[in-house]
A and B are shown apart, each in its own frame.
Chain A
Amino acid sequence: SQELEQSPQSLIVQEGKNLTINCTSSKTLYGLYWYKQKYGEGLIFLMMLQKGGEEKSHEKITAKLDEKKQQSSLHITASQPSHAGIYLCGAPGGANSKLTFGKGITLSVRP
């Protein structure tokens, strides 16, 4: 079965700093979703990547999927307190497009 490992487990950065978090799969990825979750709330869709080498950006967040399609990174430029939360990567695996998720990365941004 597919497993997704996210690193680091948690991260504290000063406001304004850049940061990168990673999601590594035990198998080739056929798609990779990034979600953000505020504590105690639902998941907010950020981006979906499908092709090796693909890169997408939205506001100050950029996500990439490597050429081998086994690792994705999420980069935040000039972090703000509003970026704080739990970042989850999810990948469809096997039939029916059900998602396997990593355990998430908790990001804190200090003002």
Chain B
Amino acid sequence: NAGVMQNPRHLVRRRGQEARLRCSPMKGHSHVYWYRQLPEEGLKFMVYLQKENIIDESGMPKERFSAEFPKEGPSILRIQQVVRGDSAAYFCASSIGQDYGYTFGSGTRLTVV
């Protein structure tokens, strides 16, 4: 039973390019959360999704960031026109439902050069 799978583990993008981060939740988990960890800061909530629905995106920057969790396939966090300030570790967590605890993936470390 594989855990939460995130890929790629490391991603380097030039300023202005697009970054796509993927998250495959644990088998049977239909709730996905994305968090961002900036250098010297704690983990910050970004977005909460269930299959085909965005439930809470209160932590998402207003521009350039989007997330989806389609009926089939992984959840995708997409960052358009990346800037250096987007460099961070992005973690995905999945759950079988609210109040059931979370399993985190190993993260994707995005570096914008």
Contacts and interface: CB of A to CB of B under 8 A. Distances in A.
Assign chain B's interface to a size class.
20 to 34
Interface residues on A, range: 20 to 34
A41 interface: yes
Contacts of B44: 101
A103 B41 CA distance: 6
B48 interface: yes
A33 B45 CA distance: 15
Contacts, number: 53
Interface stretch (B14-22, B79-87, B99-107): B99-107
A23 to B, nearest CB: 12
B42 A42 contact: no
Nearest to A97: B98
What does DSSP make chain B's interface, helix, strand, loop or mixed?
A: strand
B43 A98 contact: no
Interface string A73-111: 000000000000000101010011111111110000000
A43 B107 CA distance: 9
A33 B55 contact: no
A45 B16 CA distance: 36
Nearest to B107: A42
B109 A96 contact: no
Contacts of A33: 101-102
Interface of A: 31, 33, 35, 40-43, 45, 48, 88, 90, 92, 95-104
Top 8 A-B pairs, shortest CB-CB distance: A42-B106, A43-B104, A101-B43, A103-B42, A97-B98, A98-B45, A101-B42, A96-B56
Given A42-B91, A48-B101, A101-B43, 4 more contacts: A42-B107, A97-B99, A98-B48, A103-B42
